[in-house]
Chain A
Amino acid sequence: MSLLELKGVTKRFGGLQAVGGMTFSIEKGEIFGLIGPNGAGKTTLFNLINGYFPLSAGEVVFKGERIDGMKPHNVCRRGLARTFQVVKPLARLTVLENVMVSAFCHTDHRAEASRIALEAISFTEMEPWRDRLAGSLPLGMRKRLEMARALATKPDLLLLDENFAGLNPAEVEKTIAIVRKIHGSGVTILIIEHNMRVIMSISQKLLCMCYGEKISEGTPAEVANDPGVIEAYLGAAHA
Chain B
Amino acid sequence: MAKGTLLGLGSVIGLAVVPLFVSNTYVLHMLVMVFLWVLLGQSWNLLGGFTGQVSYGHAAFFGVGAYTSAIMVKSGLSPAAAWWGLLLGGLVAALVGAVLGWICFRLRGPYFSLSILALSEVLRLIAVNWKQLTNGAEGILYIPAFNSKAAYYWIILAVVTVSFLTIRAVMRSKLGFYFLAIREDQDCAESLGINTTKYKLYSLLISAFFTGVAGAFYMNYMGFIDPGIVFSLSDISIMMILVTMLGGAATMMGPAVGAVLYVLMSELFRDPPLPKGLPFGEQIAQVLKSGHLFFFGVLIIVIIIYFPHGIVGTLHEKWVNRKARLAGRAAAAAPKEAA
Chain A interface (Cβ < 8 Å from any Cβ of B): 50, 52, 71-74, 76-77, 81-82, 84, 88-93, 97, 100-102, 104-105, 107-110, 113, 125, 128-129, 131-133, 136, 141, 149, 153, 170-171, 174
Given A90-B188, A128-B335, A129-B331; A73-B177 close (CB under 8 Å): no
* Residue pair A174, B339 in contact (C-beta under 8 Å): yes
Q: 9 A-B Cβ contacts within 8 A? A: A71-B190, A73-B194, A73-B195, A92-B180, A101-B181, A102-B192, A104-B193, A105-B192, A132-B324
With a CB–CB cut-off of 8 A, which chain A residues contact B174?
Answer: 104, 107-110, 113
Shortest distance from the beta carbon of B322 to any chain A beta carbon, whole Å? 13
Instruction: Choose among A84, A104, A107 the residue with the greatest number of B CB atoms under 10 Å from its CB.
Output: A104
- The residue of chain A having its C-beta at the shortest distance from the C-beta of B180 within the complex is A93
* Residue pair A128, B193 in contact (C-beta under 8 Å): no
Chain B interface (Cβ < 8 Å from any Cβ of A): 172-174, 177-178, 180-181, 184-185, 187-196, 324, 327-328, 331, 334-335, 338-339
A73→B186 CA distance, assembly (Å) = 11
- The residue of chain B having its C-beta at the shortest distance from the C-beta of A46 within the complex is B191
* Residue pair A128, B189 in contact (C-beta under 8 Å): no
Shortest distance from the beta carbon of A97 to any chain B beta carbon, whole Å? 7
* Residue pair B184, A93 in contact (C-beta under 8 Å): yes
A100→B173 CA distance, assembly (Å) = 11
* Residue pair A101, B195 in contact (C-beta under 8 Å): no
With a CB–CB cut-off of 8 A, which chain A residues contact B188?
Answer: 84, 88, 90
A112→B173 CA distance, assembly (Å) = 12
The secondary-structure label for the interface of chain B is: helix
With a CB–CB cut-off of 8 A, which chain B residues contact A107?
Answer: 174
| A93-B184, A110-B172, A113-B174 known, 20 other contacts, Cβ within 8 Å | A52-B191, A73-B190, A73-B191, A73-B192, A73-B195, A76-B191, A76-B192, A90-B184, A90-B188, A97-B180, A101-B181, A101-B189, A104-B177, A108-B173, A128-B338, A129-B335, A131-B331, A132-B324, A133-B324, A136-B324
A107→B193 CA distance, assembly (Å) = 12
Shortest distance from the beta carbon of B220 to any chain A beta carbon, whole Å? 37
A71→B184 CA distance, assembly (Å) = 19
Given A110-B172, A128-B334, A132-B324; A170-B339 close (CB under 8 Å): yes
- The residue of chain A having its C-beta at the shortest distance from the C-beta of B190 within the complex is A72
- The residue of chain B having its C-beta at the shortest distance from the C-beta of A109 within the complex is B174
Shortest distance from the beta carbon of B112 to any chain A beta carbon, whole Å? 19
* Residue pair B328, A132 in contact (C-beta under 8 Å): yes
* Residue pair A171, B339 in contact (C-beta under 8 Å): yes
- The residue of chain B having its C-beta at the shortest distance from the C-beta of A108 within the complex is B174
With a CB–CB cut-off of 8 A, which chain A residues contact B195?
Answer: 71, 73-74
With a CB–CB cut-off of 8 A, which chain B residues contact A81?
Answer: 191-192
Shortest distance from the beta carbon of B191 to any chain A beta carbon, whole Å? 5
A48→B192 CA distance, assembly (Å) = 16
A204→B62 CA distance, assembly (Å) = 61
A116→B331 CA distance, assembly (Å) = 22
Given A52-B187, A93-B180; A105-B338 close (CB under 8 Å): no
Shortest distance from the beta carbon of A70 to any chain B beta carbon, whole Å? 11
A171→B195 CA distance, assembly (Å) = 34
Shortest distance from the beta carbon of B268 to any chain A beta carbon, whole Å? 34
